[in-house]
Amino acid sequence: MFKFNFDVEAESSSDLEAVKSPFVDKKKHSEELEANEIQIIEWYQAERVKPIDNLIPTLDFYELNAKEREVGKARIRHLVAGFLLEDIKAQTHLDIKKAEESHSDLIAGVYEGGAKIWECTDDLLTYLAGKYEDDTFWKGKRVLDLGCGSGLLGIYAIKMGAQVDFQDYNKDVLEYITYPNILLNVDETLADEQKLEFLENKTSLYAGDWSHFAVLTKDLDKYDLILTSETIYNIDNQEKLLETFAGRLKPDGIVLVAAKSHYFGVGGGMEQFTDKIKLGKVFQTENVWQAEENLKRGILQLKFKES
C-alpha cells in the first residue's frame, strides 16, 4: 500500500496542493512561480454527463456512418468524427466547434483533442487484445477509460465483460461522440428503453478537469484497471493525472498509459513522465511495450509500490 508524504508543514504558497503532492518538483515549482511562468487557466469543473435527448432517435443515422474494426475477439464500431463536424459547427456552444475553427487539436482549458482517435489508442487496444485475451480477466473488473475521447478503450473492455466508466475533459465530446459510440456497441436486439437503461445502470460518463473528477468520485468504488492514451503531453497537468491514478485506483489495481516518447512543443513524453512518477515514490513502473518506427511510442504500466 502506498503512503503520501502529507506530513510536510505547508509553506507560504498560493498553491498548497503543490506543497502537498508527492509528484511535484518543489524547487522547480517555486522557480516557476517567481518567474510568473504559470499561465492561469480556469479548468472546467467535473460533472456526470447524461445522454442528450435525441441520442436514440439519431442512432440509425450513426449506424449508417459507423466504421468497424476487429480488436482481438471483439468487434468495435465507432463514428468517424469528420462526418459529424457539419452538425457540430451548427452547435454554437460546443468546444469542438471552437477547436475546429481554430484549426487546433488542443486549446488549453477549452478543448483537449477528444474528437480525434490518436495513434497510441490503437497501440493500447492491440496490447490489451494480446495480453488479456482471456475473457476471465475482464469479468467483474471495474475499468476507467480516462481522457477517453471516442471511448474505444472502454468500449473494448465492455465487450470483454468489464463494467466501465468514461471520463473526458469536454462534455460535448462525451455527448456527441462517446455516448453514440457506446450505443453502437451494445446488443443490437435491445429495445430503445433497454439501451438507455444500459447507459444508466452499467456505465457513467464524467466531464471536467482530472483534479475535480477525483474529488467528485472520491466516495465511489475504485477501479481495478485505469486505461489512458495520449494524456501526458502537457507537463503542467501530469501531477493531476498522477493524483487521479492514486485516488481512484484499487490497492492491487494497475494503470496502463499509452504515449509517445516526446510531444514536440509542449515538453511532455514517456521518459519525462516516468521521471516524474519516480519523484513521487508512490508507483512502480514497467515499460510493457514499445514501438521503434517513426516517432517512438510506448505503454507504461503503473502499480502501487509495496510498503
pLDDT at site 284: 97
Give tens-digit pLDDT for 200-243.
999 999 999 999 999 999 999 999 999 999 999 889 889 999 99
Q: How far apart are CA 128 and CA 134, in angstroms?
A: 10
Pick the closest to residue 299 from 284, 289, 286 (CA basis): 289
pLDDT at site 61: 82
pLDDT at site 16: 39
162 is written with which cell numbers?
A: 468489464
206 is written with which cell numbers?
A: 464524467
pLDDT at site 60: 86
Radius of gyration of the chain (CA): 19
| Sequence-distant (≥ 6) Cβ neighbours of residue 89 within 8 angstroms | 97, 100, 101
This prediction's pTM: 0.82
pLDDT beneath 70, residues of the chain: 1-39, 81-116, 118, 294
pLDDT at site 267: 78
Q: What residues are paired with 144 via a beta bridge?
A: 165, 226
Fold of 16-32+43-304: Rossmann fold (3.40.50)
Kindly report the backbone phi and psi dihedral angles of residue 71, in degrees, each rounded to the nearest multiple of 5, phi listed first: -125, 100
